[in-house]
Amino acid sequence: MTDSTVRFGLLGAAAITPLAMVTPAREVDGVSLDVIAARDTARAKEFAETHGIHRVSEHYQAVIDDPDIDAVYIALPISAHAEWAIAALEAGKHVLCEKSLCQNAREAERMKRAAEASGRVLMDAFHYRYHPMFEAAKHCVGSGELGAIKHIDARFHVKGPVSPHDIRKIYDLGGGVTMDIGCYPLSWLRHLMGEEPDVLSVEAKEDPADVDVALAADLRFPSGATGRISGRMDECSRFCAAVSISGEAGQLSLVNPLVPQLGHRYQLRKGGEVIDRTFDQKTTYACQLEAFLAATQGKASNLTDAEDGLKQMQLIDAVYARGGLRLRGEGETHIGQSV
């Protein structure tokens, strides 16, 4: 360990943590995972022993108050993100927060203010954004190589159905397919276009009430391009993660921009020519952790910062509102249309 090492405290022993933090921390220089706290202390101890975390705290606040901790990774239920991210920022810690950043735009605004006041990094953990495959796609769209963009279609579906006991199906914990899965296609489109869209229409399926298990939305961007996104985790769902971009001069197809290290396709069709590109197997999570470290050192821009997180949550709120669905953390119950 060196003086420049960023010492992390982990909040939560979530299933995503080994993939998103433990393994990347072994691959990226300048990172130490020092302490973990979870709602179930026994589970935290088991996690620490399994993954080589140095210490276990009995409460999240103890991690935040620890003077030897520089940054906090939050992998709690979405309903708890805002509370503990704000507490960490106010304590002078940098924060890497799992998506969705929080329950709604109102909470995101509070998180943004806390990040600005503290001068610390708040990163929304959309790991895909830091991988060379997505950077290449964004450059292709932004360079005009495809001509004016006419339409983008993005899908992220997981094999369903999801257990009724899964936190993604519990409204009070910030559940819903759009919060956990459909947020990716929304983010893909926002970042590829570099614009914030209007929501034209939404089709949704709820199970149980207030919890979307399938949702599709039609969007329109200020440039005139249209988009469609879908997220599914219902009984009809099978795995799919893909983006199709159609421009006046060509088309770009991305298969698995989510975790390209597990296999991907990047295919450009233009002027009768088909160009395939292959990217290295470096994980999106390692790319994200490197970017987080660089942002804390002022060496690189935070591409999914508090401002971007606020715009993302404003769009999710707009999707729910257009679909007649209850916002996470507030609002009244409505019945959405069926997919």
For tokens 């979870």, name the residue: 38
Q: How buried is residue 55: exposed, middle or buried, by Cβ count under 10 Å (0-12/13-18/19+)?
A: middle
The DSSP letter of residue 318 is H
Q: Determine contact, residues 328/70, Cβ cutoff 8 Å.
A: no
Catalytic positions, written as ranges: 99
User: Exposure string (b/e) for 179-193, b if CB count within 10 Å is 16 or more?
Assistant: bbbbbbbbbbbbbbb
CB count, 10 Å around CB of 160? 18
Beta bridge partners of 252: 245, 268
CA of residue 265 relative to chain centroid, distance:
21
The 3 state secondary structure assigned to 200-231 is EEEEEEECCCCCEEEEEEEEECCCCCEEEEEE
Strand extents, DSSP E, the chain: 6-11, 31-37, 55-56, 71-74, 94-97, 122-124, 149-157, 198-206, 212-220, 226-232, 240-247, 250-255, 265-270, 273-277
User: Exposure string (b/e) for 268-284, b if CB count within 10 Å is 16 or more?
Assistant: bebeeeeeeeeeeebbb
Q: Determine contact, residues 260/288, Cβ cutoff 8 Å.
A: no
Which residues does 159 contact at the CB level (< 8 Å), separation at least 6? 237, 238, 239
